[in-house]
Structure 1
Amino acid sequence: MTLDELLRGEDLAIGNADLVVRGLTLDSRKVEPGFVFAALPGVKVHGRDFIPKALAAGASAILTDAPVEAPVPVITVPEPAALLARMAARFYPRQPEHIVAITGTNGKSSTVEFLRQIWAGAGLEAACLGTLGVTRGNTVEVTGYTTPDAVALQAALDRLAGEGVTHLGMEASSHGLKQHRMDGVRLSVGAFTNLTQDHLDYHPDFADYYASKLKLFTERLPANGRAVINVDSEWGGKMAETARARGLDVLTMGWRGADLTIREITPRPASQSVVFAWRGREHALDIPLVGEFQILNALGAAAIALADGVDEASVLATLKTLTGVRGRLEKVGETAEAAPVLVDYAHTPDGLDKLLRAARPHTRGRVIVVFGCGGDRDASKRAKMGVIAANQADHVIITDDNPRSEHPALIRKAILKGCPGAEEIADRAQAIRRGVTMLRAGDCLLIAGKGHETGQTVGDVVHPFDDREQGRVALAEREAANV
């Protein structure tokens, strides 16, 4: 593809427009001869600092936001990230026919996976893309990002379309929306789960965080797109109002939803009995998931599919057989007395609160929780999470969770301000072992914060660590000790 073809319709005058482009990247380490290197502004550094390295590797053109001297064509625009996304969409032109993007603080990963299962149950060629990677059938390809960079995203869409995928559910993070990573994606539906405190290490304030999420409905969805919004919070109500004002087809769901209305949720030992109405028609069924928030995610996926015309009987049948997502209230085992050990990704105040509230109705004895807070991230949530744990759990164990460049003891100290009676065990494996050792019949152990992650970041080093594996090891040690 030529540079002229990549920039068609952009109203830019670029020399050497017949230059053949072999690839695009915003990572100077991935530059090959004939590549366009996008020197984008970053949080800590600017991509222009890596232009010499990119040129040495054979970059044939540079995309950036300010004029630079280079022996190759330089494309200078105010929003180079947005242009990169559009160029990537032209370079990788194929996309699944029906793409649904889901935004919100919590529930994105579960909702896109439940939607994939519902579509697959209806016989559609479906996949989902997000924090857990690209999932299709029984295969998962790890990507490492909730919303990949624009080039990686478009390459993934092109490959999935080439493999026959017609229906794709994808997560839309606030970072991805604000940084224009999704600008080239041809969306059909946008959905919203909820909005609570998160990522305030990146966003200057909550208003910016909300505005970034809102871009899905104000900028990314086409004028004839559909919005499916959980309106149980004031933020959902505002999202719905904004989407209607733009003229989008808006459907609402939740306890206050007009199109899908939740009537009743009754916890069972390993499932929940749910009564809901879809456009006035009531349904009652058991869904094999633990936690009210999981039901909200499942019904959010159901509302998206039903609004798209997926057969109602097929949707209901799949809801009865849904499989939970890795690292989201995932049961990794239980003691001989049937006390379960559950791993969850909850790493925000709202996420931890919902996790603990979800476990309580299913637990006859004590709820024990092991968690920490990440370093180099929003510090204001640490004491808040401590308060939530103290109020909702019967025993709290504070430990380390990706301290990164911060001193782990200071992070734990900040959490302990909210729960001064908690037990403090720095070593995460030992903390998990302690939690498992404490379990009695009727108890439940929640290991929160990492979920599906397989590393513990200390300084600049990522050490192998998996909460699920450590939970199973601790259970095996307990069993061996009791033989």
Structure 2
Amino acid sequence: MLYMHDLLQESGLMRFLPTALTRIPLSGLFLHTHGMTPGGLFVIKASPRYTEADLISKAFACGAVVVLKEGETVEFQRVEKGWIVSIPRILDQLLSLCDYFYPNRPDHTVAVTGTNGKTSVVHFLSQLWGWAGYPWATLGTIGALSSRPDFHFQTASLTTPDVVSTARFFHQADECGIQYAAVEASSHGLDQKRLGKGPFEVGIWTNFSQDHLDYHKTFQAYWQAKSRLFAIVAKYAIVHASVPDQDQLFEICRKKKVAVSLYGNPSCPAFYQPLKIQPDGAVIHIQIESFQWQGFIPLMGLFQYDNLVAALYAFYLMGGSLSKVGPFLGSITAPKGRLEYAGSHEGGRVYIDYAHSPDALKKVLETLRLHTKGKVGVIFGCGGDRDVGKRLFMGRVASDYADWAIVTNDNPRTEDPWKIAMDILKGCLKGELIFDRAEAIQKGIERLNQGDILLIAGKGHEQGQIVEDQIMPFCDLQQARQWLSL
């Protein structure tokens, strides 16, 4: 249990603290009321949805005993349910506050960044650790998962949660005896320092292509955000050979004395080669330095074999035995919503995937083309209030790599769905517009013939459709299986 006295004794603010405040026990540090425990210390961040007064009221209602907020000077206010403390530059102190509250980390940690593939690499790592008998935990787009049934962690639905939640995740994992942990590192999360100070034993960069330019504005700024991962990596950097500006990345790692290894083609120490593509996977050859493996992998997609190689390489560099996990590779599974098989209709197959960037959609459609001699159709949209520039390219990818396409809603948020659709259709001349996503899925399934494949792209594992500020229940997999069962 920590006290305000413990937190501020090195900050120069102790002389201002009322005696009653120094003795208040604090159960934890929180930036969100979701999952907050009674007796918590709540730090206010500016919010477009709530006023400062609303956040203070909500924090106390959820059990906070002290609320920290930004102020020009140090001030303390006693209120009915606790204390409100104003401190200058409070967000600058968050990393130190995290160290006080959540100082522990598992012995072996991995952070994975990249435009696509983060979830899959983390998921594959968890399976490798499980086969090796290592207790593990992961955090990312599909939530917090663990091999330990006594590990329970709640956080907001972000690829990379806030810095406090991330620190708490590692601390709780360590307290549960978990030795191996992997997290997804989004460009937003890296830019906003949500991963804290690290250090991570291994950092992985899977690929780099257009996305999130509504936030980063330029490719250079996007690249810089991704590269920040390696400033908090302690030992190994694993980078796909296709990632641009490798000289800059090597220099970052050289200054940190981090060993850099490339993967992804035969000139690299880690790569795969496809030997025979089959409808439900492929026979491939994998090489990780001197280790070699050959056999059937029940995964769809060349990009997934790259992701598996990245996970295997990280596992190996962290001391894992590849010969021990090799016999299990034939049973590896993809994460939920990543080329997930939904069922069949009239001899045609239906898959669900999270692809929501031009490069991801292109790779998935190219993959499906390899696994069928029939036609490939796609249902997709683009999110509202997000990167407008990618919509045209998403449309072009669908037009170039699918035989037919249906453009539909995908989290329009506060933006006009008609405008989003028109932006996409400028690049997708073969696209049919069906705003209602459930109807689009029904019509897409009805178009299937023997040997065809339908891809329902964009939402993957998601369980809702965001319209305005409301999340309406919606699941692509459930909708597809509903129509497939008729």
Q: Same fold (TM over 0.5)?
A: yes
Pairing partner for 1:192 from 188, 198, 205 = 205
The separation in 1 between residues aligned to 2:37 and 2:133, in whole angstroms, is: 41
Between the two proteins, the alignment pairs up a number of residues equal to 470
One-letter amino acid of the structure 2 residue matched with residue 398 of structure 1:
V
What does residue range 247-258 of structure 1 map to in structure 2 within 5 Å? 247-255=257-265, 258=268
The separation in 2 between residues aligned to 1:311 and 1:27, in whole angstroms, is: 40
Identify the range of structure 1 (156-165 vs 231-240) with the bigger mean alpha-carbon deviation.
Answer: 231-240
Contact 2:108 2:318 in 1 (8 A): no
Pairing partner for 1:355 from 332, 354, 364 = 364
User: CA offsets, 1:109-148, max 9 Å, x none?
Assistant: 0100100100111111112111001122497977411112
Question: TM-score, structure 2 length as denominator?
Answer: 0.89
The separation in 2 between residues aligned to 1:128 and 1:275, in whole angstroms, is: 27
The separation in 2 between residues aligned to 1:265 and 1:214, in whole angstroms, is: 34
SS in 1 for 2:168: helix
SS in 1 for 2:272: strand
One-letter amino acid of the structure 2 residue matched with residue 36 of structure 1:
L
The separation in 2 between residues aligned to 1:451 and 1:52, in whole angstroms, is: 35
Identify the range of structure 1 (381-390 vs 234-243) with the bigger mean alpha-carbon deviation.
Answer: 234-243
Identify the range of structure 1 (159-168 vs 133-142) with the bigger mean alpha-carbon deviation.
Answer: 133-142
| 1:460–1:92 distance in 2 versus 1, CA, 3 Å | same
The separation in 1 between residues aligned to 2:71 and 2:261, in whole angstroms, is: 39
Give the equivalent residue in structure 2 for 1:3: 4
Identify the range of structure 1 (456-465 vs 57-66) with the bigger mean alpha-carbon deviation.
Answer: 57-66
- Deviation of 1:211 (Å): 1.4
Give the equivalent residue in structure 2 for 1:398: 407
- Deviation of 1:387 (Å): 0.5
One-letter amino acid of the structure 2 residue matched with residue 452 of structure 1:
H
Give the equivalent residue in structure 2 for 1:426: 435
**1:135 and 2:145 correspond:** yes
The separation in 1 between residues aligned to 2:4 and 2:184, in whole angstroms, is: 30
- Deviation of 1:388 (Å): 0.6
Instruction: Specify every segment of 5 or more residues in structure 1 that has no aligned partner in the other structure, as ranges.
Output: 478-483
SS in 1 for 2:342: strand
| 1:32–1:435 distance in 2 versus 1, CA, 3 Å | closer
- Deviation of 1:454 (Å): 0.6
The separation in 2 between residues aligned to 1:137 and 1:55, in whole angstroms, is: 32
What does residue range 28-39 of structure 1 map to in structure 2 within 5 Å? 35-39=40-44
Contact 1:347 1:373 in 2 (8 A): yes
Pairing partner for 2:380 from 347, 367, 371 = 371
SS in 2 for 1:343: strand
What does residue range 392-471 of structure 1 map to in structure 2 within 5 Å? 392-471=401-480
SS in 2 for 1:188: strand
Pairing partner for 2:161 from 148, 151, 154 = 148
Pairing partner for 1:86 from 93, 96, 109 = 96
SS in 2 for 1:127: strand
Pairing partner for 2:327 from 310, 317, 323 = 317
The separation in 1 between residues aligned to 2:230 and 2:13, in whole angstroms, is: 28
- Deviation of 1:159 (Å): 2.5
One-letter amino acid of the structure 1 residue matched with residue 203 of structure 2:
G
| 1:45–1:142 distance in 2 versus 1, CA, 3 Å | closer
| 1:272–1:151 distance in 2 versus 1, CA, 3 Å | same
The separation in 2 between residues aligned to 1:99 and 1:364, in whole angstroms, is: 42
Contact 1:100 1:189 in 2 (8 A): yes
Question: TM-score, structure 1 length as denominator?
Answer: 0.89
Contact 1:109 1:131 in 2 (8 A): yes
The separation in 2 between residues aligned to 1:84 and 1:19, in whole angstroms, is: 21
The separation in 2 between residues aligned to 1:304 and 1:96, in whole angstroms, is: 16
SS in 1 for 2:42: strand
Give the equivalent residue in structure 1 for 2:81: none
Contact 2:121 2:308 in 1 (8 A): yes
User: CA offsets, 1:17-55, max 9 Å, x none?
Assistant: 83433332223688888543323345x479856575378
User: CA offsets, 1:51-76, max 9 Å, x none?
Assistant: 75378666535253744754254332
Give the equivalent residue in structure 1 for 2:68: 62
The separation in 1 between residues aligned to 2:71 and 2:325, in whole angstroms, is: 47
Between the aligned residues of both structures, percent identity stands at: 36
The separation in 2 between residues aligned to 1:357 and 1:216, in whole angstroms, is: 30
The separation in 2 between residues aligned to 1:390 and 1:55, in whole angstroms, is: 49
Give me the CA root mean square deviation. 2.7
| 1:31–1:365 distance in 2 versus 1, CA, 3 Å | closer
Pairing partner for 2:22 from 7, 18, 38 = 18
Contact 1:231 1:256 in 2 (8 A): no
User: CA offsets, 1:283-327, max 9 Å, x none?
Assistant: 322211010111111110000001112112123223222111100
Instruction: Specify every segment of 5 or more residues in structure 2 that has no aligned partner in the other structure, as ranges.
Output: 78-83
Contact 1:276 1:282 in 2 (8 A): yes
Contact 1:369 1:389 in 2 (8 A): yes
One-letter amino acid of the structure 1 residue matched with residue 16 of structure 2:
G
Contact 2:135 2:148 in 1 (8 A): no
Contact 2:190 2:229 in 1 (8 A): yes
